[in-house]
Structure 1
Amino acid sequence: MKKAIQFSFITLFAICSSVVSAQSMDEDQFYSENEPKVRPFRIGGKLGFPNLIGGNVEYVTPLLGDKLAVSADYSTISTDWIVPEEEEGYESSGDKLDFSYIEGGLNYYLFRPGSGLYVGASYGNIKIEGQMVRYSTESDRTEPGTGDIDFANGSFNLKLGAKLGGLFYFRPEVGYRFSALPESYDMEVVFDDGYTETQSYTFDTESSPQNLLYKGLIANIGLGFAF
């Protein structure tokens, strides 16, 4: 299953790149004499892994013939946004998880200034915070405890991507995180009487597509505009 999902992302990337690249090869004829060919500022959104869903900004510097760019990604997701506790008919378990991802790095465009195929190197940090309630214990306590999660995972990343288009662009990316997420996390559970113990919280590493977060795979699709 894992290999099939990875193959699907790579195949999608290859198809999109070949189709749009064929169109973008002739885009020079659409530029007027007064219009710059490189729009250095880019802003857009990304959907995929490890970003899940978030924003992206990029600036193409004049270095190396307008081929070196700096890039930053940011995502944040809270369980409160997905199912509000006050929704009628919904009984909250009380569990809360907040996910955030921040990444910064460099992209080098291989063939054309600020456009087309590029390789990227970056550093990204995944942070998960939350509170898990109603945790039982193996001791003789009858009341459940509350576990606090404060987990972070930083990783160096390598990526291959393509910025395809002019004013409006499409951006597929694939790559690898060298520090994948662990499958479990040791958290401290606190009980009402003040007793604490360490328990292991296991992340959902089986359900698709979020299981890709635990395999180190980078695969996302971005849309945006440049100016």
Structure 2
Amino acid sequence: MKKAIQISFITMFMIISAVASAQEVSEEYYFQEDRPKVRPFRFGVKLGFPNLIGGNVEYVTPLLDHKLSVSVDYSMLSTDWIAPEEEEGYEDSGDKLEFTYMEGGLNYYLFSPGKGLYVGASYGNIKIEGVLTGIASKDPSRTDSGTGDIDLSHGSFNLKLGAKIGGLFYLRPEIGYSFSSLPESYEMEVVFDDGHTETHTESFDTESSPQNLLYKGLIANIGLGFAF
């Protein structure tokens, strides 16, 4: 917790310093007549964490000389973990998993309207729902297996540093920090055929590298898209 607070203060200090520097550097820019055209609508795809893979929409508002934008991310992945029906020996196990991520926030472009380096603040929510079958009981005397329901939701406030590189077609790398890091475990309710229920606590692999960084609040992704 102490380390997270230190990182938070350092990140906020860097953002405040960057914004102050941007205001000084860009004063002359406001009076130029040949400023580049701003393409306010952006549609793209992001790959990384916590998005995994999903869509991104951004709109650059006229506020602050077209430097303030609104951004929304959405990802939805679903799998039932079964073999294709054409495959010999196909059998539906009943296992299912759905991952949803939604994030909304503001970006401030530091040096040029709607392009280049920017800082962002956002709120994101991860939701994981699923059904797992064939789960063994914690009671060694039971020989039957149960079905577990996963219902995990996690929200966080995020700070990010990114860059929009390009015009009509663009590249968008981002790094950041989540003030509410991912939980290291989750609880799952397991139901057996005779109605017996158990609560199982499952742990994620938080020690192996590099995914251990994800459980310390790391945000990292890269986007591709077009603007008009």
With the shorter chain as reference, the TM-score category is 0.7 to 0.9
**Structure 2 residue ranges without an equivalent (≥5):** 1-33
Alignment partners' CA distance in 2, 1:166 and 1:205: 39
Contact 1:78 1:98 in 2 (8 A): yes
Distance in 2, Cα, partners of 1:165 & 1:130: 40
Aligned to 2:70: 70
Q: What one-letter code is carried by the residue in structure 2 that aligns with 1:104? A: G
Alignment of 1:122-137 (within 5 A): 122-137=122-137
Is contact 2:105–2:122 with CA below 8 Å preserved after alignment?
yes
Contact 1:49/1:212 (<8 A) preserved = no
Partner of 2:193: 192
1:105 corresponds in structure 2 to 105
In structure 2, the partner of 1:16 is: none
In structure 2, what is the Cα distance between the partners aligned to 1:52 and 1:146?
Answer: 27
Please name the residue that 2:119 is paired with: 119
Give identity over the alignment, percent.
76
Matches within 5 A, 1:51-62: 51-62=51-62
Alignment-mate amino acid for residue 125 of structure 2: N
What SS does the aligned partner of 1:193 have?
Answer: coil
Q: What secondary structure does 2:37 align onto?
A: coil
Task: Return the alpha-carbon distance in structure 1 between the equivalents of residues 93 and 82 of structure 2.
Answer: 11
How far, CA to CA, are the matches of 1:210 and 1:60 in structure 2?
A: 33
Query: Which amino acid is 1:165 matched to?
Result: G
Instruction: Tell me if structure 2 keeps the 8 A contact 1:108–1:120.
Output: yes
**Number of aligned pairs?**
193
Distance of aligned partners of 1:201 and 1:42 in 2 relative to their CA distance in 1, 3 Å threshold: same
2:83–2:91 CA contact under 8 A, matched in 1: no
SS in 2 for 1:133: strand
> Which amino acid in the other structure matches residue 101 of structure 1?
Y
> Which runs of 4 or more aligned residues in structure 1 lie more than 4 Å from their structure 2 counterparts after TM superposition?
82-85, 89-93, 206-212
Q: Which residue of 1 aligns with 2:163?
A: 162
The letter for the 2-side match of 1:143 is D
Which residue identity lines up with residue 129 of structure 2 in the other structure?
E
Is the contact made by 2:82 and 2:91 (CA closer than 8 Å) also made in structure 1? no
Residues 85 and 91 in structure 1, CA contact (< 8 A), matched pair in contact too: no
Q: In the TM superposition, what whole-angstrom CA distance separates every residue of 1:76-95 from its partner, at most 9, and x where no partner exists? A: 11123x76553515666543
Structure-1 residue corresponding to 2:182: 181
Bigger Cα displacement from structure 2, 114-123 vs 129-138: 129-138
The one-letter amino acid paired with 2:48 is G
SS at match of 2:38: coil
Q: Mapping of 1:79-90 within 5 angstroms?
A: 79-80=79-80, 84-86=83-85, 88-89=87-88
Q: CA 1:85–1:204 in 2, change beyond 3 Å: closer, same or farther?
A: farther
Aligned-residue offset at 1:201: 1.9
Instruction: Map 1:90-101; keep pairs closer than 5 Å.
Output: 93-101=93-101
SS at 1:86's partner residue? coil
User: How many Å apart are 1:179 and its aligned residue?
Assistant: 1.1
CA contact (8 A) 2:45 2:225 kept: yes
**Alpha-carbon deviation of 1:193?**
0.5
Gaps of 5+ in 1: 1-32
Residues 82 and 93, structure 2, Cα contact 8 Å, conserved in 1: no
In structure 2, relative to structure 1, the CA distance for the partners of 1:207 and 1:85 (3 Å cut) is farther
Q: Is the 8 A contact 1:145 1:192 kept in 2?
A: yes
> 1:52-81, CA deviations, whole angstroms, 9 ceiling, x for partnerless residues?
00000000000011000000000011123x
Give the 3-state SS of the residue equivalent to 2:65 in structure 1.
helix
Structural RMSD (CA): 2.2
